[in-house]
Amino acid sequence: MIENKKILIGFLAICLLTAPLSFSPIAATDWPIFHQNAQHTGYLDQPADFSPTSWYFNTNGAIKSSPAILNKVIYFGSSDGYIYAVNLEEGTQLWSYKTEGQVISSPSIVNETLYIGSMDGYLYAQDTKNGEVKWKYKTGNSIESSPVVDGDNIYVGSNDGRLYAISKNGSMLWEFETGNSVKSSPLVNNGTVYFGSDDGKIYALDAKTGVKKWEYTTGDEVQSSPAISNDLLYIGSNDGKVYALNINDGTLKWNYEMGKAVKSSPTIDTNDNSLFIGADNNKVACLDTRNGVEKWTYNAGGAVKSTPALINNNITFGSDDGSVYVLNKYTGKEVWKYNPGYYVMNSPFQSSPVTFGNMIYIGGNDGYLYALKNDKQSGPTSIFVYYIGGVVIAIIALLLVLRSVRGRKKKQE
């Protein structure tokens, strides 16, 4: 009997020692969906050996793609048609890959494979180490939707009006046709894939078969991407409302009127039952996820199409006024903001920021990716300060010339 107990104890000890090995260590660092997870928090912890610095990286087109981070490398697309991999610490390029169209889609990363769509109509699967294309799948039109990876399958929308399920080998499993373009980025939860369409509907499909489980009709295009928490799906619509739907049957729990089109996607803070989202009327709202009650609102200087990211006790987002904002997530009060155009050469921020410890990374329509230090409330001195300085010097020089000419004319008189 004693011998049997020793064997049992030994077996249990072995199970406890080996149990952690059954969980993939990569899973913690994957970025399988737009804005990192089903709550769109856009946040990752910073490793102790990371040396944060402020920098900017230049592309030749607007950056509307929202970045993904893996192993101190940041990945994103640009309207110049390239997909980029950039070192997080120094802002130096590791590799780039040229597609045949603008890259507005945001990347997802699982098992060191990067998935991203292009306006050339292809969904690309690339090696994160060097950008080598493993395979690509052609849809019927351009891709603005960002892919989500769930198990062995990848789901992505296309402007051909379809949602596609693609295997990890690049072959199509099924497709589902909606009534218009699918720019919303899908989300998979417990075997169901959720997304919006420009036909004004929100869909729930069986992830294995593509069979529709339910649909919900809003008053306009749905380009916002869904977030899920506590069996509720949250999403915005261009009809100006934020919706909370039961994930099982699509019944309405509550809605909230933002006042103008909501292209921004909801970000959920599960610790505080808070939802953060922006709208085209410059409004950012914090809502109670349970009932849609407004906690606070903030008016930015331009439309907010960017999806907020959490960072410590704050949220951060971009605006069409050319500023990156950081607000206290409890009160909505502005903590600080960054404007690389110095309010003279403003360019919209429509990319959604991601946060890495105390760092904020966001792309601008000016073609630059910016690395900002939240703890120091600072960003890099952008190239535009030199442009503005040059313009100021040119204006001063012109004024001096005009003054000199006038002086000569007076003397001649």
User: Given strand 309-311, what is the order of strands in its sheet?
Assistant: 309-311, 314-318, 324-328, 334-338
> Distance (Å, rounded) from C-alpha 237 to C-alpha 177?
19
CA angle 343, 349, 355 (to 5 degrees): 115
**Phi, psi (degrees; rounded to nearest 5) at 369:** -100, 130
**Which among 273, 325, 278 has a CA at the least distance from the CA of 304?**
278
Dihedral (C-alpha) 223, 229, 231, 234: value to the nearest 10 degrees? -20
The Cβ-side half-sphere exposure at 266, using a 13 Å CA radius, reads 33
- pLDDT value at position 385? 59
Tens digits of residue pLDDT in 361-394:
999 999 999 999 999 999 999 776 555 555 666 6
Number of H helices, E strands in the chain: 2, 33
Q: What is the DSSP letter of 378?
A: B
Residue 303 has pLDDT above 90, yes or no: yes
Q: What is the pTM of this model?
A: 0.88
Tens digits of residue pLDDT in 83-94:
999 999 999 999
Residue 12, both tokens: 């249990």
Out of 208-222, 232-246, 337-351, 386-400, least confident range: 386-400
Burial readout 32-43 (b: 16 or more C-beta within 10 A, e: otherwise): bbbbbbbbbbbb
Tens digits of residue pLDDT in 33-52:
999 999 999 999 999 999 99
Please, what is the average pLDDT of the chain?
Answer: 91
Residue 403, both tokens: 């003054």
